[in-house]
Structure 1
């Protein structure tokens, strides 16, 4: 018998402020058609004055707990993926712990930018299968609108804010690819590629800084690395492209999503796509897409899911799981 980390509930939160592409036309040399043709994005949500990374994460967490039929003190650990925590410290995860009224267990942040949720899932999986925790709340939450250079049309039109969460519970499986839960993970990074995607601020500069990206270079690395990590994880799980019911990718750019699916040998009909409505929400994008895909009726019990993501670092990885 094998312990597996099984998804028991999902939830998400999106700020009430919806920004259509056309809004950028007043301040930037851009158009709705230009943005859509290059990214697939039509609109995104931006945090209001009442939204913080931790408050959005908490809202998504509450929705996931309700979906799972659990309360905060049923959770042993919170793993929160974010690059835009409210403060340098304490972690946003401990803030969520307090906001939920969770009086036990432990909480910590994971910072791997857009790959953050994949990293968080892998870490939570390790805690559950090792027996250190029985239930985990895994969250991705971002307020990237706080680190945008609004004069840079190549970046500021691409990102959005939001949060998504899943509840994981340790369950016994048979040790086969038919088990429910996380079947395999694959994580990678290459710090030599730091300058392709980074924020030019932090404690060394005394400013929060702005996001900087070499878009063409990131695109060039993305499809190859995403397909490679997905195949590595699928091989480890003992499954192939024909077994995949849904790819739930990081929602960065429709061309990256399409290119990766093609390279993986999975048709777009089996890809959950939300980038048109949310933009790139970094670490929040995969849990958002999981929750939306579930709500749409796309993802069903027993489905085999592959998630993959790449972000600053560069950091990238994939998770194969059965719903």
Structure 2
């Protein structure tokens, strides 16, 4: 018997506060055109005071459960991808578990920055294929607005807050590329590139710290590594770029998204793009884009989807799945 981890529900949550590019003109030497031309970002959402990563993750999880017609106790595990957990510990995932009223199973966080959701999906897939869980909630949630240096115009205009979630279920399958569910994954990291994207705080400094990024260097690595990991995952899945219905990439920068699609030989009308409305929501960006893409009527059951992401670490990876 072949098993696949199949997405049976998805949902998302965005904070109420929408911040247009023009807002940054009051405090920084920047403008809407400068931000838009370099990143494709037009607006983003910022969490309200007291609105935590776990609260947004819970809202997205509830939406995914409702979409699947299930309740929290139908779930065996929660994996939450985040770099902005509410506290140093316990994990934000256990907070979501409590907020959902889920008393069984287990929950844990995955920290791979912007690649976090891809890493979490891969872990959930492994739990399901090994028989350790039948249903897994995979969530990406971030409040990056809390780690911004508001004097650094090269970073603070790029990021936003939000959460997205999918519910995976073990289902019997034929073991072919036509199966619904996760068909292949590919994960990579290289710690030598730590200084390209990091937060200058933590336990060692006794401060929360701020995000620091060498944008041009990250860009240089991004397109090449994203195209390579997507190609590897597609080869493992036994599919070709021409089979792909949608690329749902990490939404960091429109030029990275365009460059990666071009390298894969796929037109932009096969790419789900949400970066203009959300900014870079790190681990939340792919599940947000999946949920919004489905709401828009782009993603339909049976569609072949490639997701890919790169973030601090550097950490990067891809997942090929059939919706």
- Please indicate, yes or no, whether the TM-score normalized by the shorter chain is above 0.5: yes
Establish whether residue 7 from structure 1 lines up as the match of residue 7 from structure 2. yes
Give the Å deviation of 1:278.
Answer: 0.1
* Deviation (angstroms), 1:193: 0.2
Q: Number of residues paired by the alignment?
A: 323
SS state at 1:248 partner: strand
- Paired with 1:306 and 1:213, the residues of 2 have a C-alpha distance of 26
Rounded Cα–Cα distance in structure 1 between residues aligned with 2:49 and 2:98:
21
Hey, what does 2:71 align to over in structure 1? 71
Distance, in Å, in 2 between the alignment partners of 1:137 and 1:265 is 32
- Cα distance in 2 for residues equivalent to 1:284 and 1:301: 22
Post-superposition Cα deviations, 1:210-240, rounded to whole Å, max 9, x if no partner, equal 0000000000000000000000000000000
**Residue aligning to 2:188:** 188
Residue equivalent to 1:286: 286
Q: Which residue of 2 aligns with 1:105?
A: 105
Task: Detail structure 1 runs of 4+ shifted over 3 Å in the superposition.
Answer: none
- Summarize deviations over 1:8-52 as a string: whole Å, max 9, x none: 000000000000000000000000000000000000000001410
Name the TM-score, length of structure 2 as normaliser: 1.00
CA distance in 2 between partners of 1:66 and 1:14 (Å): 17
Structure 1 residue 131 and structure 2 residue 131: aligned?
yes
1:205 aligns to 2:198 (yes or no): no
Does the residue aligned with 2:155 lie in a helix, a strand or coil? coil
Alignment of 1:148-297 (within 5 A): 148-297=148-297
Could you list the runs of 5+ residues in structure 1 that have no partner in the other structure?
A: none
User: Aligned pair 1:90/2:96, yes or no?
Assistant: no
1:125 match: secondary structure: helix
- For residue 34 of structure 1, give the secondary structure of its aligned residue in structure 2: helix
What are the Cα deviations for residues 96-149 of structure 1, in whole angstroms up to 9, with x where unaligned? 000000010000000000000000000000000111000000000000000000
Distance in structure 1 (CA, Å) of the matches to 2:200 and 2:253: 23
Instruction: Name the CA distance, whole Å, in 1 between partners of 2:77 and 2:111.
Output: 17
Q: Residue deviations 1:248-306, cap 9 Å, x none?
A: 00000000000000001111000000000000000000000000000000000000000
Distance in 2 between residues matched to 1:62 and 1:144, nearest whole Å: 22
Task: Give, in whole Å, the separation in 2 of the partners of 1:97 and 1:143.
Answer: 19
2:314 pairs with 1:314 = yes
2: CA distance, partners of 1:62 / 1:175: 31
Question: Residue 47 of structure 1 corresponds to which residue in structure 2?
Answer: 47
Distance 1:128 1:268 in 2: 33
User: TM-score under structure 1 normalisation?
Assistant: 1.00
1:80 Cα deviation after fit: 0.2
CA distance in 1, matches of 2:43, 2:176: 41
Matching residue of 2:140: 140
Structure-2 separation of matches of 1:170 and 1:308: 23
Q: What is the alpha-carbon distance in structure 1 between the residues aligned to residue 2 and residue 57 of structure 2? A: 31
| 3-state SS of 1:307 partner | strand
> What's the counterpart of residue 122 of structure 1?
122
